[in-house]
Amino acid sequence: MVTVHNAVDFSGRENLQVERGVKDPVVTFLGRITYQKGPEYFIEAAAKVLKRTKNVRFVMAGSGDMMNRAIRHAARLGISDRFHFTGFLRGMDVQKMFALSDVYIMPSISEPFGISPLEAMRTGVPSIISKQSGAAEILHYAFKIDFWDVDAMADDIHALLSYPALADFSARMGFDEVNALKWNGACAKMKKVYESVIK
């Protein structure tokens, strides 16, 4: 069994300069709002972070069958004034959302791979991903938590927002790491697999 991981094609993506409408740091979940992606764990972690500090904004970017439930969940926890839902984003709006973010999180319950953390890290955003995602196998500079461990998730978010040196290190090393994940490398590995079978 040989694993060949995905890469990301970053061609045609410029480094955007965006104007922020708020001074507070922004923590972003970007993806389908479905059970598989773990949106409820993100909301629970957000509530725990907001018990420590009020100066944070949380964004859930995307759409899905759990969106209304997620909105109600945030309201029940009393964090609606700090929690924003953008709806479905595509193309340049996705890039803008990453550019506006200070931390990206993918708390997926199951994820064959997960391209979005690579896109976030390519934008220079420190990222937190679940150990249950395929990307966790190759991303050494993303913070990794179990999807269900909302305390660890909240701790990592709080640490990245509270310690600029930690966030800067994670962003710089993550940027270099994902830039090395080229499709050429994945193709070369596939070629070696085929050659070994033929021989």
- Per-residue pLDDT of 107-123, as tens digits, reads 999 988 888 999 999 89
Question: Which residues are CB-contacts of 64 (< 8 A; sequence separation ≥ 6)?
Answer: 32, 33, 34, 37, 39
Band of residue 14 on the pLDDT scale cut at 50, 70, 90 = low
DSSP string covering 72-140: HHHHHTT-GGGEEEEE---THHHHHHHHT-SEEEE--SSBS--SHHHHHHHTT--EEEETTBGGGGT-S
- Tell me what pLDDT residue 113 has: 85
The sign of the CA dihedral 168, 171, 174, 179 is negative
Q: 120 burial class (0-12, 13-18, 19+ CB within 10 angstroms)?
A: buried
- Tell me what pLDDT residue 11 has: 66
Averaged pLDDT for residues 160-188: 92
Percent of the chain with pLDDT over 70: 96
Band of residue 21 on the pLDDT scale cut at 50, 70, 90 = confident
| Average pLDDT, rounded, for the chain | 92
- Tell me what pLDDT residue 107 has: 96
Band of residue 12 on the pLDDT scale cut at 50, 70, 90 = low
Instruction: Inform me whether the pLDDT recorded for 104 exceeds 80.
Output: yes
Q: Tell me the range of 7-11, 86-90, 109-113 where mean pLDDT is highest.
A: 86-90
Instruction: Inform me whether the pLDDT recorded for 168 exceeds 90.
Output: yes
CA distance 43 to 34: 13
Q: Give residue limits of the domains in the chain.
A: 26-198
- Tell me what pLDDT residue 3 has: 84
Percent of the chain with pLDDT over 90: 70
- Tell me what pLDDT residue 87 has: 95
CATH architecture of 26-198: 3-Layer(aba) Sandwich (3.40)
Band of residue 86 on the pLDDT scale cut at 50, 70, 90 = very high
Band of residue 76 on the pLDDT scale cut at 50, 70, 90 = very high
| Neighbouring C-alpha atoms within 13 Å toward the C-beta of 66 | 18
